[in-house]
Structure 1
């Protein structure tokens, strides 16, 4: 009798588990884009900034994949469009990659002192609606400040914790 009860419970739970997995949105995490706003003669640390942006992108991707809130879509290539140049173009591309939502992060660097991290979570079913997300201004250009800013934005935007 116990075996039949266990089987009945399993038969009832299995469809719920499948529908929960299907309801988990597919998320595309784009590479962190670096927007250097400093005048050309004042641009320094470009290799270091590119490395920080790449590392931050990997950390965001890993944290979101671990969270279980999303099924992270593995992308084949870097987006052919910048979100800041064409939001609709990037949304179309991300949808074509099989995503339901896209997380776009970009870092605006004014100088060694002023760094702004921006994040947008786009609902690809309704890309015309305002994206969730925001911006945070930081003072200091270090790995720690970039991570602290991104951690705050990721938590506010998705409820996911970024751990180094």
Structure 2
């Protein structure tokens, strides 16, 4: 683990002290002892012991690993697009019987950026329990949101969706727009 500043050590000391107090209130003496020990390590700056701690710091995302605002906006737009398609597909299918099926394509988990975007996509659908109708579409895929590098349909459809979304009749003439989005190349 990298060297911690005094402020970071103080914050961790305070957090583990609070966790020890909570454990004490719950009559969990084992956790209380572990939290007090960890608090003492950070209070005294025993750097050799930092990595020995079984704590959330190992799972903490550094700034380089977190999803950017632009990536979050893209995921939000993707969810909006799939929501629009899902909600309007049956009407478009009646008007255009040969219309393409909706292909729910997420991001490639084999890349850092794709994994971040899929992480956020899954957070929105699963942890926040939003876009359940879109989640059902992704669940039809063998590996849910992982595109395994095949993102071409997602890219072209999202580009077309963002272009068409600005039209005044976007929600009034959805059959036409669903067809255009699904046929985007």
Q: TM-score, normalised by structure 1?
A: 0.29
Larger Rg: 2
Greater strand content: 1
Whose RCO is larger (CA < 8 A, sep 6+)? Answer: 1
Greater helix content: 2
Q: TM-score, normalised by structure 2?
A: 0.26
